[in-house]
Structures are given as C-alpha cells and as structure tokens.
Structure 1
C-alpha cells in the first residue's frame, strides 16, 4: 500500500468515526467532506476531475441545453434537480462533492443559479464558448414564450372578462409563492459560510432590513450596510459592525428630519425607470442593475423591479406586475425572465412607443438582467470559488444574502394586499354594488392565498407551482365572472 493510499484511507476513517450513527448515506458523507477545511490533496482531486465530461460540438451543446430549457418547468429548484440528475447522478460528469461546491458558490453570487449551472456544464464540455451557448440555449425557450405571452396579454387585455378572471385568480396564488420563497431563502441565508451554522446576526439583519424596507429605505443601501457590517461582526469586531449600523440610522434620521417624514416608496429604487427618460439605455441599465443585485435568487429582483417599474416609472399597475410574476412562474424559464414582460410594458408606455418598441425593450432588459451571471460564469468557476472563499468577501456576501430575506418579506405582503384589492377590475357603475363585489372577490382571493400556502407547505413536487397556476387560471373562470 502506498503512502498516498494510506493517507486517503485515514481521511475516510476519520470521516466515518466523526459521523452520526444514523447518517450513513453517500450524500451525507459528501456533505461532511465538503465541510472539512483540512482535506488532503487526493480528496480535493474530486473537485477537478473532468475525465467523464464528453467533448461536444458547439451545436450539440446548444441543442442539449435548449432541450433542457424546454423541459425546465417548476422553477429553479426543479431546474437544478434536473441538472443534478442528468449530469451528476446519471452522466457522472462531476462528483456530488463538486456539484455541492459549485452550488454553494452560485448561491452566494448574483444571478439565477439554474442558468449559471447550464453555463457551467456547457463550459466543461466546450470551453467558454460552450458555456455561452449552454446558457443561451437554456434561456431561449423561456424568452420566446414570455415574449409571446406578453404580446397576447397586450392584444387581449383586461377588456376580455375571461382573460381578466384567470389573472385575478392567479394574483393571490403568486403572492403566496413569494411568501413561501421568503421562507425557502431563509433556510440557507442565515448560515454563515465560515462556520456552516446558523448565525443569529444574519437573522437579526433580516429583521432589520425588513423594517428599513417597510420604511422605504433604498434597497441598495440596506444590502451594502448589512454586507459591510457583517464583515466586521463575523470577525468578532462587534463595536465596528454596530457603528456601521449606527451611521446608517443617523443618516436615515437626518433624511427624515430634513424632509419632514419617511421616504416615499420611490426611494426603494434609484430612479433608473424615469417616466420622462424612458429610452433603450435606461431600460438596459435597469436590467443590468437588477441582474447585478440578484443575490439569493430571482425573488430578490421582485422588490427592486417593483420599486422601479411600478412606483417610479409607472410602467404598469401593481396588478399587472403580479401578472408578470405569474407568467414567469407558469412557463419553463428562469423566474428572472419575468423582467422581459416588464420591458415589453415599458416599450408600450414610451413616447411614440408601440409593439415594435415593446419587443425591443423586452430584449434589452432581458439582456441586461442576464449579462452579470454570464460574465461571472464565463470568468470561470475556480476564480469565483477563490472570491467566495476569501474571508472578507465571503462575510460581505453573507451579510447581503442575510438581508435579502428582509427585503423580500415586505414586498410579499405588499403583493398580497394588491391581490386582494380588485375594485379597479370591476365594471359595475353603482358604487355600493362595486364595494360589495370587491369585498366578495377580496374574500375569494384571501381563500386562494391561504389554500395555496397550505399546498406549498404540504405537497412536495417539482411541478407543483405550474399545477397551482393552471388550477388557479381555470378556477378564475368560475370565481371571478359574473353570470
């Protein structure tokens, strides 16, 4: 037996000895290995072995991931599970250890993880061009479908009672999706990358950022302050970290004092989506910034895009914004693709705009949203992993991801409120009758919301969100049409 073999066996024995009696499965052992900071070189080879990755032509890579894009129903969790089954469990392109490590990096960095995985595997098979083609192939089906749905949404409009009824039923369902997402994101957002354990400071930052978001403090300021503060707190420099928060509170207090009140909802954004400057540059810029701050997944983009497109730009009503999220959930695409619908609406609102401008702006905002994740992934995973494992940067990202939960939570309840208020969609002229119908529809929407939450917590199926959307659209025909 060689010394190298003995060293590997010693590592394996130590893992088994420290393992809990009830966790002998392979995946759990992999998790133990991934948390060990003192692995030997032979164990680390699992993170570098590409011997089972086939060499594919650029066309083959594009077709492969285009097919994945067509089959990517059910949101990011289902999409990532699809990649794991095809490339890790069955194909053996990489080990489970390496898959978990890659997933950990993409959870920290901004961008939709499923698209980043498509690019990662494409890059393994065909280099950087292969990664680019893998990502493009994966998002193209969803982009085409959302463009089509955006056009249908415009030409049919809310004048059609049946179309209107389905979307009225979908709005509380989508609001429930967002609230459930807050819980899901929280499950990993409060785990410190340094200790791999729950961190009470990250939990506190989520609560604090939730309060500040409810008070309309700019989202980027909140994320930045939490990231910087946790860089010090994670190193037990509590006084400096608390001082960072104190400076934020002082600045916020001065703002309130000089402006005689808390900021308006417009303050949650930064004003890219200005009504009087609705042009291609601003639309692309909004997408670029949205993609750059999408820490923790696609749901992070919801409060920012709502602040910009609804509150500041006035490109759409809150109800239409909910419809955009619904369309993003029902189609096989990364959820961030709902931004394509928002760009389409911007083109319709622009001076001299129309369907042509709508298609152009839909393309530009989508290009902006996905540019950051394409750049990050094409740079190469080894460099990204070094970045995320840098002590200061890892803590900075942890603080941002921890604050994300607090950013989304107020928006989840705001979306619920929008889904319950349906007066504007009622065509009855009599005021008293309108109020009665509005109360009835609000009660129905609340019931749909509660039932959806119950289903999301009780049932576990990768197609559940799609099934709920379809059921909701059908139910709307019976619940929101006056017969």
Structure 2
C-alpha cells in the first residue's frame, strides 16, 4: 500500500474521484458500478472481494452508501486524508451546481415558474422508482413487507422526525426477534489500516456530538448552529441512503416554515439532474436558508457522520459482519426504511406535485422512461421540465 503521506497518491485520489464526481449520474447503484470500473477493474486498488465487503459494511451504516464506499476506498488507499480527498472530489461538483441553482432560484424568483412544478413532478417519478427498487431488495417476503407497511401507516398517522427514529428502533428490535435464519455464516476476513483506538475515538466523538449539539443549540439559539444540529442528526440517523433524506429533512424544515414546500421539492427535483450523491441536496437547502455560509455548514454537518462511521467501523469490519444479531437488526431496519419512504411519497411528494390529470400523465411517462426504458435520471429531469412547459402551452 502506498505511503499515506505520498503527495502523488493524494493527488491521484483527488483527480480520479473528481472525474467520477463529474460523470457519475444515476444514483447509488450506478455510483457503485462506476467505482468498480475505476477503482477495481482499471486501477486494481482493491480486489473484488474486498470491494464487496466494503459495500456490505456501508449498507449496514446510516448515511449515503455510495459516498461512504468512496470514502472507505480513499482511506484504504491514503488513510484519513485519502478518504477526505475521495469524498471531496466525488461530492464537490454536485455541491457547486446545487448552490448555484439555489442562488438563481432566489435571484430570479423561480418559485412561481412552471420550471419548479415540473421538477416536483420529476421528484414524484424518481421517488416512486426508488421505492419500488428498494422494496424489491429490502422487502422480498411477507414479514419484511408487513414491517414496511406498518412503518408507512405510523408515519402517515403521526408524521414527525422523531417518530421515524422510533420506527427504525422498533423495526431493529423486530428484526432481532424475527429473522433468525437469514444471516451469513461464511465471512472471509480482511485487514484495514485504521487502528481500533482511532475507530473508538471516532465513535465517541459521534456520540458526544449527537448528545451535545441539541443541548448547546437550545442554550445559544444560533441559526447556523441550529442548522448544523439538524443536518448532523439527519446524517447520523438516516438509513436507506439519499432518498430517505427527503422525509427526515422535510419534517425538520418545512413545518417550522424555514422553507416552503415548493422551495424544498424544487431543490430535491434539481438534485436528480446532477452527478454525485443525493445528500448534496442539503447544500441547496443551506444556501436557501443562510446563503453560501449555510451551504458550507450543512454540507459539513450532513457528511461528517459518514466519515466518523467509516473510521469507527473499518477496524471492526470483520466482527460486525460476522455478528448475527447485527445482521438481523439491519434486516428489520431496512424494511422499515421502505415504509418511511412510501409515506413520504404520499406526503409531501405526491400531494404537492400531482395537482391535475396532466401532471399525473407526465409523471407516469417519466416513471416509464426511468423504470422500463432505463433512461438516466438527468435525462428524466430534462424531459420532465420540457414536458411541463409543453403542458403549460397546450392547457
């Protein structure tokens, strides 16, 4: 393994990850395919088994799985600095695009335009596609489907950010009791370069911030600290990747009238058109709330838990993956994520986006193009916006 202080190695990590950040359209699954082609097949930084183990680890953790895989590969190549550079290159292009979009939104008052409503329709098609994809993978049997439906029902009846945490915790307990015959027993171990002491320190820092930030926030009542608290908590507690960020952040921001629902969904729709992780949606929200400074604060806040989780988990990867109780808890948690996302699809996505029969028709076309004809998400955004303007002209 190259010396972690080797500038050439750091520069290589940054350049390769930046190219991926500029070209990796299509969501987390597509990101993992791009990573495999670049890091495994072309550059041989890892073998396929190690890559599969890293993906499995990141599926176990809260946060954006594809970003965490990139961070982990960067850390294994160049230590903690390598992990940061890998994240920076992969994430920064979409952050810049979404910050600029937020500034244009505010400058030109896009909130009244057909453009924004079209993006909301795009978001409806994309979220439905994500629900179906997650459902096939995470709720393939009646037991897990039942957990998902119960989670959706509770969220629809009692919508709140804290209720989501209760649902996730309850689903984990159910998973521990119900899924006794669904764990892996043949796990091949491998070594990592981060020490267990460093891993424990990262986990302690994560826990300390989760406890201390809400307390300090209530004592100081500072707007930027409030944003950091909200987005750090979301980044630390959201299971299921970028799409599940939608309901968690929406419950924290829209009911408090920090942003309107139209402003919120417009950014979510735009986030579908850019490469890189969907978590950069937070950068748009930060810009809308507190300008470029807000974007900087919330971007750090929502991604910092991913770094701490990876640093904490990599040294203990073998123990975590071979522990049957941990695997069973995760099965239940993943099933509940599908239900939470289903509830979010109805409120706020569907209720806000689909107002007329023409809206439904456009959403159905976009969904078909996405799921049947397999068009990339960025093309769906372009077609959706053009379709929205065509409907405006003929209506």
TM-score by length of 2: 0.83
Q: 1:458 aligns with which of 352, 366, 372?
A: 372
Counterpart in the other structure of 2:307: 374
After TM superposition, list the pairs within 5 Å mapping 1:77-116 onto structure 2.
77-116=29-68
SS in structure 2 of the partner of residue 74 of structure 1: coil
Q: 1:470 aligns with which of 366, 370, 382?
A: 382
Moved more, 361-370 or 470-479: 470-479
SS in structure 2 of the partner of residue 110 of structure 1: coil
After TM superposition, list the pairs within 5 Å mapping 1:226-265 onto structure 2.
226-235=171-180
Distance 2:94 2:106 in 1: 18
Answering whether residue 67 of structure 2 is matched by residue 125 of structure 1, we say no
Answering whether residue 262 of structure 2 is matched by residue 319 of structure 1, we say yes
Aligned CA distance change for structure 1 residues 183 and 221 (closer, same or farther; 3 Å): same
Do the aligned partners of 1:319 and 1:419 also contact (CA within 8 Å) in 2?
no
After TM superposition, list the pairs within 5 Å mapping 1:63-462 onto structure 2.
63-158=15-110, 164-190=113-139, 198-216=140-158, 218-235=163-180, 277=221, 279-311=223-255, 313-347=256-290, 358-379=291-312, 381-414=314-347, 415-421=349-355, 442-461=356-375
Do the aligned partners of 2:28 and 2:277 also contact (CA within 8 Å) in 1?
yes
Q: Could you report, residue by residue, the CA deviation over 1:334-383 in whole angstroms, capped at 9, with x for unpaired residues? A: 11111112222222xxxxxxxxxx22122211111101111122335342
Aligned CA distance change for structure 1 residues 158 and 131 (closer, same or farther; 3 Å): closer
Question: Bigger radius of gyration, 1 or 2?
Answer: 1
Distance 1:334 1:77 in 2: 11
Q: Could you report, residue by residue, the CA deviation over 1:22-49 in whole angstroms, capped at 9, with x for unpaired residues? A: xxxxxxxxxxxxxxxxxxxxxxxxxxxx
Aligned CA distance change for structure 1 residues 148 and 273 (closer, same or farther; 3 Å): farther
Do the aligned partners of 2:180 and 2:328 also contact (CA within 8 Å) in 1?
no
SS in structure 1 of the partner of residue 110 of structure 2: coil
Shift of 1:277: 4.9
Aligned CA distance change for structure 1 residues 210 and 315 (closer, same or farther; 3 Å): same
Shift of 1:410: 1.4
Distance 2:345 2:318 in 1: 32
Counterpart in the other structure of 2:204: none
Shift of 1:142: 1.4
Distance 1:346 1:278 in 2: 13
Shift of 1:140: 1.4
Shift of 1:482: 8.3
SS in structure 2 of the partner of residue 314 of structure 1: coil
Do the aligned partners of 1:108 and 1:398 also contact (CA within 8 Å) in 2?
no
Aligned CA distance change for structure 1 residues 154 and 482 (closer, same or farther; 3 Å): farther
Aligned CA distance change for structure 1 residues 380 and 404 (closer, same or farther; 3 Å): closer
Distance 1:402 1:328 in 2: 25
Do the aligned partners of 1:273 and 1:308 also contact (CA within 8 Å) in 2?
no
Distance 2:45 2:54 in 1: 13
Shift of 1:182: 0.8
Distance 2:316 2:387 in 1: 49
Shift of 1:291: 0.7
Moved more, 99-108 or 405-414: 99-108
Shift of 1:82: 0.7
Q: Could you report, residue by residue, the CA deviation over 1:423-444 in whole angstroms, capped at 9, with x for unpaired residues? A: xxxxxxxxxxxxxxxxxxx222
TM-score by length of 1: 0.68
More relative contact order in 1 or in 2 (CA 8 Å, sep 6+)?
2
Shift of 1:143: 1.3
Shift of 1:181: 0.4
Q: Please state which structure has a larger fraction of its residues in helix.
A: 2
Moved more, 95-104 or 442-451: 95-104
Q: Could you report, residue by residue, the CA deviation over 1:151-184 in whole angstroms, capped at 9, with x for unpaired residues? A: 111101137x7xx122222211211110110111
Distance 2:74 2:270 in 1: 27
